[in-house]
Amino acid sequence: MSAETGVSRRAMLVKLGLLLNSIVGAVLAVPIVRYLFSPVTRESHIGYESWLSLGGLEQFPAGQTRLATYKNPVINAWDGETGDIACWVRNLDDQTFQVFAINCAHLGCPVRWFAQSNLFMCPCHGGAYYQDGSRASGPPERGLFEYHYKVEGGELLIKAGEMPTPGRAANTKGGGTTCA
């Protein structure tokens, strides 16, 4: 024990240890606290609420299914080509469309359209979907995810920020509107 200060070496090391542990605890708590408060402090991304153009109606002939892409509404400068998202557009009769996410409802692998058989097929686990997006066979338990769309000014627009999930599957069918 030091005669001048009255603090033993052991007491000083305990206090130093507590101080360092408190600093480490505070540093580790910052991301946890940010995560817990993120719904309260999150900025509203206007891009998620907007309608995105897939192109002019002439790009999607009646009776055909075509691949289209759109730019993710909320991207970072470094995202590059990963900000481009593909989807399948099915033109039923020049006024009615179906726009499907390219991802299989099973594990998210990209499905391909086979016009010869009128089927969407997933190469990962053999999932198959009919041309209307409903499940044909394989491991997926539901049909393809479908975007809400509208036709406005000769362009096909989708609301990509409302990507349906299995919990919201009941209100995903239809969703098309036509505006002058």
Taking only the tens of pLDDT, the chain with its 180 residues reads: 545 667 899 999 999 999 999 999 999 999 998 888 877 766 555 555 678 888 888 888 888 899 998 888 777 777 778 888 889 999 888 788 999 988 888 888 899 999 899 899 998 888 899 989 899 888 888 888 888 888 888 888 888 766 555 544 433 344 554 443
Question: What letter does residue 150 receive in the DSSP assignment?
Answer: E
Mapped onto helix, strand or coil, the DSSP state of residue 37 is: helix
From 46, 55, 63, 158, select the one nearest 101 (Cα to Cα).
Answer: 158
From 166, 160, 179, select the one nearest 51 (Cα to Cα).
Answer: 160
